[in-house]
Copies of this chain bind each other. A is one copy, B any other.
């Protein structure tokens, strides 16, 4: 075989990066579980008709085919890889509704795939960590508050640059446009979403052309989008724009509740940002976008769907938030912003005086492992200097020397002490690899 090369858009990490990724996943998962979210996983594939319900993503699906499928075997035709965890979750809820207890709180940490053209910075395979709460018929608003708090907690445990969860509410924008008298508020939501791409003057033109707005109305829409605050003070700024509408009032009250609860629980993390427009056309209330201060791109998003799933008379509203783990780590790895203390789980290398002593070394290793210490036995009875270099190259902090008595050496400091496998304990900080933010 010739030397293989990476595939664009399919990131793979070396062991130190994977240790960091696992650390992040473990911390996020622990937060989700401490908050009572149950784990599920869904299969990687969904029927194509499920995946294509939102037209806009149709070009991003990977379709599957059995290499040796018979012409008359249609069993696998029409399957595609899921491109997010929301579509599969909605299907899972409908399929298992009779066996789940509602409100159903679930988390799901899985890969997703998008069949995009290869392009720098675009992932075609990526890891997502999602939480959602779903109920039958109605879902209380307090879950919209909770999602932001849980996401803030999940990310607070990681050595990251400051996290901002920017929130908005579709009812604020739609109510404001209605109150202004714009004829087509839905078209206005879509126009405002294009601000990053076409700039303020482009959005004004689009609002006039597609939503039936006057130029003055269009400028008011832009003014609304400039409002942002880390406290409920944004409400006053909205009032000053002089538009009144019951839907607007409801949206403002909801966003005030999110920001107020978050201010107590996770100061400075959750901010009201009325420029957030992404997803306003399909979310029905609160929307979230997660950003790292100093890094441009969003590393998570979510919101409320009043109709996450439905079948016949059954309707399941939901609210959720998704953390893009691959995107998050890709950004940070790209800036060398995370470091890990070693490249292997191993804390102790048991040295071998001679190959014949491997049985005894294995017993020493087993005794240490039984007390929760990660251990390897040396690959060979080479000179001790070579065995110590094996440890050094991997960042293993301790080398154990069998003897009468045994000794253990911290190869960073050179300190060597007598030790018994039945009782020696490394400092807590050395037991497992530790992850830190680089300076």
Contact = CB atoms under 8 A, between A and B. Distances in A.
Given A5-B95, A12-B41, A43-B10, A362 B125 contact: no
Contact of A374 (B36, B101, B311): B36
Interface stretch (A55-63, A195-203, A225-233): A55-63
Interface string A303-315: 0000001111000
For A50, A58, A344, A375, which residue has the most chain B Cβ atoms within 10 angstroms? A344
A67 B63 contact: yes
Contacts of A116: 66
A44 B379 contact: no
A358 interface: yes
A379 to B, nearest CB: 5
A362 B45 contact: no
Chain A interface residue count: which class? Answer: 35 or more
Contact of A7 (B45, B48, B94, B309): B45
A40 B372 CA distance: 21
Interface in A44-103: 44-45, 47-48, 50, 53, 58-69, 73, 75-76, 79-81, 91-92, 94-96, 99-101, 103
A14 B379 contact: no
A85 to B, nearest CB: 13
Interface in A130-153: 135, 140, 142, 149
Query: Within the oligomer, what is the number of copies of this chain?
Result: 2
Contacts of A36: 344-346, 374-376
A69 B117 CA distance: 8
- Which of A39, A80, A113: most chain B Cβ within 10 A? A39
Interface string A334-362: 00000000011110000000000011001
Given A35-B376, A45-B10, A65 B63 contact: yes
A169 B125 CA distance: 39
B50 A101 contact: no
A39 B62 CA distance: 27
Given A92-B12, A261-B362, A34 B373 contact: yes
A393 interface: yes
Contact of A76 (B115, B149, B369, B379): B115
A1 B261 CA distance: 36
Contacts of A239: none
A62 B65 contact: yes
Interface stretch (A15-23, A180-188, A402-410, A413-421): A15-23
Nearest to A43: B10
Interface of A: 1-8, 10-15, 18-19, 21-22, 33-45, 47-48, 50, 53, 58-69, 73, 75-76, 79-81, 91-92, 94-96, 99-101, 103, 105-106, 111, 113, 115-118, 125, 135, 140, 142, 149, 261, 264-265, 309-312, 343-346, 358-359, 362, 366, 369, 372-376, 379-380, 393-394, 432
8 tightest Cβ-Cβ pairs between the two chains A and B: A36-B376, A36-B346, A66-B115, A59-B68, A10-B43, A33-B345, A15-B38, A61-B67
5 contacts: A12-B40, A14-B96, A22-B39, A35-B375, A65-B65
